[in-house]
Chain A
């Protein structure tokens, strides 16, 4: 790591000019939200280059999954993007189910979608607090956690865990819903609807916040596609890429919701995509919460799962973008090879492009708007 940093300090023909300063932001830094190491080259306050260094928390989850059975490997994916662990599990379950050719009961599908959307709200709410904290406002973080706590309590009752839920299993979900679930979700909907305008008052409509984010960290539609950006990062640049709309899975094609697309290409439009997605997720939950069908919560599956020989791929929309699962099976009880396509990695790769020519403070705002989760990038 140090050796590479020294190489960077040598004159680079692309970065002409003396007086450049190289600063290591991270691996321990308040705004990298994890152990991300950025080597930034500065000229005064202006950023000339950003180079992310990864690998500080690489756990080789994909390799570990090769020695775990098709039931077990799903749980290790909760540890990747820990803010949307339900959705990661969901993606893996879909892939295994594709191989097993099982029919998922309607009740299980509804529960899955409900949990996905609750997770998305919890993740976006946390991002909102962290984004505001990155641009210097500390109070929104606590307001965000008030809502996130409510969701975590709901999750704790039904799934038994607050962060790494491990609730989805191939064929459905692990347990039935807790009797309190519907009541508490309805309470949450009422509470959250009343608090959403507060979010706009506190941050969105604040003139300082708008100045800090408008026109900052621009990435054009073409560049966003070529960097492989997905999720709100890409939708902020006007790309239609919501997997729930373009490759609908589970119940999503029956639901009424909009794909949020903003054309500002800057931090503010990425911010607005997520804020509007909160409203959409809330409306999806409202549509489903009164219509949970009765029946089985889990399809009958064998105790030991065996996928037929072949390759399987499934994709879901996490809070951060497209999450893909690619499984190669040799017909055994464990995956022969497995590969996850995580949204954070591709979104991070666009950081350098967005940051060049901006100020240090802008870089922090850009990182906030990308909503990076480092274990998702490093795996």
Chain B
């Protein structure tokens, strides 16, 4: 089974043979940073293009089709335009916080890339508290959003930021509880362990109905956490024009935009890792012949395939559903999702103790 790790290990070996270990480590760190930034921008471009094509498909139109073959460079052109635009800081805004906010949102999104396993043995940082790290870091972005809304000195922004604060803080509970179900079943917080535990079948299929429930709750909660429709109340363009980033322009706006898409990628990657086996190919119990055939597909293809499938589902939500109202949004979380996921957690714990899962 070919994997991206072949490249990384050969580079590692070559660096360690040529330089002293500390210099090699330095080079590797620089490489990793460059890779992360590169991945960040490529992801932004690809996902924005995908969103535009998916929305065009659902809205019976063509979508961008002028810049480059099949309009593939439209996002590049847009990014160039945003780069040369003036980044206006409105008068009366808190200049420091206003300019800091997009970077906080972006840095939070970038930090989340670290524990994601893109392929077999291809991971920036296999920390032993990977899942905890993810849920901790993902709450940082709300600080950036609140900061942006408050510092803009705009009433629309303020309303958007307050909505976003209430929303992200509430939906984190459900997202966290549904992540915990998998942690209980696996018995580890480490991403690698979680993926390895799905060698004989993905948790979605092994864990009976409770895991399916927690998967659905996870999808709803992360859609809300990333401020995507039908939970895009923080932006709600028909109500609050553009919500918390009303006053942002140029590259500062682009950073918010980019961070949104990278966040989508990351939450979908985490969903794919926890419930759909990450880079693990589709294995069924002890059908060794079938499993062997599946192993021939590279692990990175499995990972990106599952992730992009989940991203498509989330985009599908956005282009079909109307938006909820703020009180309905909080009712959904506190009255329905949270009690269900708590009860579900009990079921999963029982299942894990009694060993009922496959």
Write the residues of chain A forming the contact surface with B, with a CB cutoff of 8 angstroms.
21, 23, 29-31, 45, 132-139, 141-143, 146, 202-203, 206, 208-209, 211-212, 359-362, 364
A136 near B327: Cβ-Cβ < 8 Å: no
Kindly state whether residue B296 has any CB partner on chain A within 8 Å. no
Pick the contact of A138 from B59, B60, B239, B241 — CB < 8 Å? B59
Bound Cα distance from A30 to B233, whole angstroms: 15
A206 near B241: Cβ-Cβ < 8 Å: no
- Name the distance in Å between A84's Cβ and chain B's nearest Cβ: 23
B320 near A133: Cβ-Cβ < 8 Å: no
Pick the contact of A361 from B237, B241, B320, B325 — CB < 8 Å? B325
Bound Cα distance from A212 to B239, whole angstroms: 13
| Interface SS majority for chain A | helix
Complex A-B: 28 CB contacts under 8 Å: A21-B155, A23-B155, A23-B156, A45-B159, A45-B326, A135-B322, A136-B230, A136-B322, A137-B320, A137-B323, A138-B59, A138-B319, A139-B59, A139-B320, A142-B59, A143-B59, A146-B60, A202-B320, A206-B321, A208-B230, A208-B322, A208-B323, A211-B325, A212-B324, A360-B240, A362-B325, A364-B238, A364-B239
A31 surroundings in chain B (CB, below 8 A): 238-239
A209 surroundings in chain B (CB, below 8 A): 322
- Name the distance in Å between A292's Cβ and chain B's nearest Cβ: 32
A212 surroundings in chain B (CB, below 8 A): 322-325, 328
B323 surroundings in chain A (CB, below 8 A): 135-137, 208, 212, 361
Looking across the interface, which residue of chain B has its beta carbon closest to that of A213?
B322
- Name the distance in Å between B275's Cβ and chain A's nearest Cβ: 25
B236 near A361: Cβ-Cβ < 8 Å: yes
- Name the distance in Å between A209's Cβ and chain B's nearest Cβ: 5
Given contacts A21-B155, A138-B55, 15 further A-B contacts (CB under 8 A): A23-B155, A45-B326, A132-B322, A136-B230, A139-B55, A139-B58, A142-B61, A211-B324, A212-B323, A212-B324, A359-B325, A359-B326, A361-B233, A361-B236, A364-B239
State whether A360 and B239 are in contact (beta carbons under 8 Å apart), knowing that A135-B323, A137-B321, A139-B319 are contacts in the complex.
Answer: yes
- Name the distance in Å between A35's Cβ and chain B's nearest Cβ: 15
- Name the distance in Å between B175's Cβ and chain A's nearest Cβ: 20
Looking across the interface, which residue of chain A has its beta carbon closest to that of B325?
A361
A29 near B325: Cβ-Cβ < 8 Å: no
- Name the distance in Å between A227's Cβ and chain B's nearest Cβ: 24
A139 surroundings in chain B (CB, below 8 A): 55, 58-59, 319-320
Kindly state whether residue B225 has any CB partner on chain A within 8 Å. no
- Name the distance in Å between B291's Cβ and chain A's nearest Cβ: 41
Looking across the interface, which residue of chain A has its beta carbon closest to that of B56?
A142
Which of A136, A137, A142, A212 has most B Cβ within 10 Å? Answer: A136
A208 near B327: Cβ-Cβ < 8 Å: no
Kindly state whether residue B274 has any CB partner on chain A within 8 Å. no
A21 surroundings in chain B (CB, below 8 A): 155
Bound Cα distance from A21 to B236, whole angstroms: 19
Kindly state whether residue B221 has any CB partner on chain A within 8 Å. no
A208 near B321: Cβ-Cβ < 8 Å: yes
Which of B59, B238, B322 has most A Cβ within 10 Å? Answer: B322
State which residues 139-164 of B face A: CB under 8 Å.
Answer: 155-156, 159, 163
- Name the distance in Å between B287's Cβ and chain A's nearest Cβ: 40
State whether A208 and B324 are in contact (beta carbons under 8 Å apart), knowing that A31-B239, A136-B229, A136-B230 are contacts in the complex.
Answer: yes
Looking across the interface, which residue of chain A has its beta carbon closest to that of B327?
A359
B241 near A29: Cβ-Cβ < 8 Å: yes
**Which 3 A-B residue pairings sit nearest by Cβ, starting from the closest?**
A136-B323, A142-B59, A137-B322
State whether A211 and B328 are in contact (beta carbons under 8 Å apart), knowing that A136-B230, A137-B321, A139-B320 are contacts in the complex.
Answer: yes
- Name the distance in Å between B55's Cβ and chain A's nearest Cβ: 8
B 23-61 to A, binary, CB cutoff 8 A, 1 in contact else 0: 000000000000000000000000000000001001111
- Name the distance in Å between A127's Cβ and chain B's nearest Cβ: 15
State which residues 48-95 of B face A: CB under 8 Å.
Answer: 55, 58-61
State which residues 305-358 of B face A: CB under 8 Å.
Answer: 319-328
B325 near A30: Cβ-Cβ < 8 Å: no
Bound Cα distance from A34 to B126, whole angstroms: 54
Bound Cα distance from A132 to B328, whole angstroms: 18
B59 near A30: Cβ-Cβ < 8 Å: no
B233 surroundings in chain A (CB, below 8 A): 361
Looking across the interface, which residue of chain B has its beta carbon closest to that of A29?
B241
A23 surroundings in chain B (CB, below 8 A): 155-156
- Name the distance in Å between A125's Cβ and chain B's nearest Cβ: 15
A136 surroundings in chain B (CB, below 8 A): 229-230, 232, 236, 238, 321-323
Bound Cα distance from A137 to B320, whole angstroms: 6
A29 surroundings in chain B (CB, below 8 A): 241
A137 surroundings in chain B (CB, below 8 A): 320-323
State which residues 230-271 of B face A: CB under 8 Å.
Answer: 230, 232-233, 236-241
- Name the distance in Å between B280's Cβ and chain A's nearest Cβ: 35
- Name the distance in Å between A311's Cβ and chain B's nearest Cβ: 43
B238 near A142: Cβ-Cβ < 8 Å: no
A132 surroundings in chain B (CB, below 8 A): 322
- Name the distance in Å between A135's Cβ and chain B's nearest Cβ: 4
